[in-house]
Amino acid sequence: MNVDKQPLRIGLIGFGCVGQGFYDIVGRQPGLGLAVTRIAVKSPAKPRTLPAERFCFHADDLLADPDLDLLVEVIDDPAEAFRLVSTALRHGRRVVTANKAMLAHHLPELVALQRASGGALLYEAAVCGSIPIIRTLDSYFSHEPLQSVSGIFNGSSNYVLTRMSQQGSEYGPALAEAQAQGFAETDPSLDMGAFDPRSKAVILAAHAYGVFLHPEEVLNLGIESISAVDIARAAAQGRKVKVVAGLYRLPNGSVAALVTPQFVGPESPLYAVEQEFNGVVIAAEFAGSQFLHGRGAGGHPTGSAVLADVLALQHGFRYAYAKQSEAPETQLTEGLEVEVYLRHADAAILREALTWLQLPAGALLIDADGPQATGTVSIQVLWTWRQELRAAGVFVARLGEVRPTVAAGITPARAAELV
């Protein structure tokens, strides 16, 4: 390395968990030729690990600074992140972001801005922390048809499910432990309600299949109503409950997407993904099945993904979105069905849920652990009643993969074989 070479000058917007992790990693590796020269934060009064003079309090100052070679945005406000990132791209800047909610809602516009202005945006840290899933899909599988991309994309909910399974505890104590350990937010709704992994699935769809999905069109069901009873029932079948986000190529060539709890057996590599870890399974037409496993959150794991993007931008890397030109149709709800398990402690509420989901009253079973039901449900019906199910506290989990309905002219056995 030429010691006289000017280091890459980085403007860092945000100094929370990920920002501090990235800053620390850069500081430990001076040989990389990187320098975080300016840091913008929101609150002047908040205690921080660096001297106050290291910070400024107007992120727009960094956007306007011609001496900065690259910007890293790691704040937790999606609207402000979009304003900053889109403005930077309009000015042809190179930007790294980790804001998955912002990307999920604005990715088509951000891609168009890059192409129009010559700017560049990378966001590996936005999905599955330290796992290099976006680059893998965009580069390695850029021209290979994929049957599915599925996995555990949220470490917070996975930590809660792991603790419930290990300790036999209820949801509340397991969530409190996750919050105490820093694996869950004070307001856990985005993680436990499966909104966070839904955003990540939307981002991956652009790279796996070239399709731009809108988050609100994708079914997501969370674990807010899960009980130790559900964990025990899955265990009795030799399975575990995991929140699985999935993108699936259907027999007609279209792409389906959904995020729900699922009973997962030991035949799946996701069965062994525990604590705050994430795991992704890629089923490729020619390469076969691939499995990636790693920490899905934390300052250093996510900061390492930010660093990888910074170095990639330094060397001129851009996402290709190679499959966008031949993107398939999407089939998010209509003509699809899935076998589900449902539970609520109150038989009357569960019976009402069966009417919403068009399941027969005979599907209701009451054993020593209380009411439960299983049956095959239309994804469209699940999507229509998702808010009512959440409000009523009905726990819903998949027992199998999404498949075309029998009404579509395919037998259940053939549908399962094709998917």
Catalytic annotation, residues: 200
Cα 261 from chain centroid (whole Å): 14
Contacts of 57 by beta carbon, 8 Å cutoff, 6+ apart: 40, 41, 42, 43, 44
Question: 39: which strand partners?
Answer: 12, 55
User: What would the 3-class secondary structure string for 263-286 be?
Assistant: EECCCCHHHHCCCCEEEEEEEECC
CA-nearest of 97, 127, 101, 112 to 310 is 97
**DSSP code at position 126:** G
Structure tokens at 310: 């910074």
**Residue 360 neighbours by CB distance under 10 Å:** 10
Q: Name the strand (E) or helix (H) holding 300.
A: helix 299-314
Instruction: Judge contact between 128 and 153, C-beta under 8 A.
Output: yes
Instruction: Judge contact between 306 and 74, C-beta under 8 A.
Output: yes
